[in-house]
Amino acid sequence: MTGAGQRHGPIRPAGRLPLTRRAVPLVRAGLILLGLLHLSWGLPAVLAPRWFFDHFPGLGQAWTAAYPPYNAHLMTDVGATFLTLGGLLLTAAWLADRRVTRVVLGGVLFFSTVHLIFHLAHHGALTGGGLVASLVSLALGVLAPSALLMLTRWPRA
């Protein structure tokens, strides 16, 4: 075939560029884990915003309550954000499409970076181990999508 219709190499539908084969299971597992985490944060924030504010992340810690005052609208919006990100992460895992995966991870990375920057500058009432644990958790929220993004880079020719 020559001219405008000429194709070189294997034909792939637009947007369906596969991830590097060895990275696919790891990326998919990471997307699922991050998606389920976001859903586990979003559901209680939407369904029980006061409980979420008073108890998140649990296990005797109350990081969100360290930033008063309570606002049901804000907690519900935060929950909706987490649910949206969780749904997008799980969709990316299901589709296993490089472009979709990179866009979703880029969005999660942007949100997580802005969130971390805020908490690096504003500690609320958190001190000591609670502050360190919250900042480490937020830093992991930046590192995880960054690592997954690196696994989805274009393979070397």
For residues 53 and 75, is the Cβ–Cβ distance under 8 A? yes
| 56-68 CB burial, b ≥16 within 10 A, e <16 | beeeebebbbbbe
| 6-58 tens-digit pLDDT | 444 333 444 444 556 778 899 999 999 999 999 999 999 999 999 999 999 99
Q: Which amino acid is at 14?
A: A
pLDDT at 153 over 60: yes
pLDDT range class, residue 151, cuts 50, 70, 90: very high
Please compute, for residue 153, the number of CA atoms within 13 A of its CA located in the half-sphere on the CB side: 6
For residues 153 and 110, is the Cβ–Cβ distance under 8 A? no
For residues 75 and 108, is the Cβ–Cβ distance under 8 A? no
Place of tokens 């590192």: 143
> Tell me, what's the pLDDT at 8?
41
| 98-143 tens-digit pLDDT | 999 999 999 999 999 999 999 999 999 999 999 999 999 999 999 9
For residues 25 and 105, is the Cβ–Cβ distance under 8 A? no
Question: Global pTM?
Answer: 0.84
Place of tokens 């866009």: 103
Q: Which amino acid is at 23?
A: A
